Homo-oligomer: A and B are copies of this chain.
Amino acid sequence: MIRTSRIRVATNGQDDMVDLTPKIEQVLRSEGVSEALMTAFVVGSTAALSTIEYEPGLQRDMPVALERVAPVDAVYEHEEKWHDDNGHSHIRASLVGPSLSVPVSGGRLTLGEWQQIVLLEFDTRPRERQVVIQLIDG
């Protein structure tokens, strides 16, 4: 059985990191699943999903690291072509990736104690994000 739902997340723009775990746990409870696969997918090409220990230190360390790969002020063909300012946002989003799969067992996400599911906002302005949550159970 497959159930697809969407959660909406308002972000503060670049470098914002939002803990999705409570909202996803709420979906699990309202759907009443026990053994299941939870797939999360962020719609759009300038945000990504991953897991992290959700605490203020790492929220500031993550953009510092990504600046080494896709610096905000580098030259991007994307920006030249579209007169845009978010070339780095697209590259960061594609590298981290839009989808995440977390097994559910005994009604709970199999996360570690210090491991949360997060949305990484890479776009330069605040956005209203949609995250598709799909549950498959037996």
Q: A31 interface residue, CB < 8 Å from B?
A: no
A8-16, A18-26, A74-82: which lies at the B interface? A74-82
| Integer count of this chain's copies in the complex | 3
Contact B103 A44 (CB under 8 A): no
Count chain A residues whose beta carbon lies closer than 8 angstroms to a beta carbon of B. 62
* Chain B residue at smallest Cβ distance from A64: B74
Contact B95 A110 (CB under 8 A): no
Give chain B residues whose Cβ lies under 8 Å from the Cβ of A4: 35, 103, 105, 110
Q: A124 interface residue, CB < 8 Å from B?
A: no
Could you tell me the distance between the alpha carbons of A90 and B56 in the complex, rounded to whole angstroms? 13
Give chain B residues whose Cβ lies under 8 Å from the Cβ of A68: 68-70
21 A–B contact pairs at CB < 8 A?
A1-B138, A2-B37, A39-B103, A41-B101, A43-B110, A43-B115, A45-B115, A51-B98, A53-B78, A55-B78, A55-B81, A56-B77, A58-B76, A58-B87, A60-B77, A61-B78, A61-B90, A65-B69, A66-B69, A103-B132, A103-B134
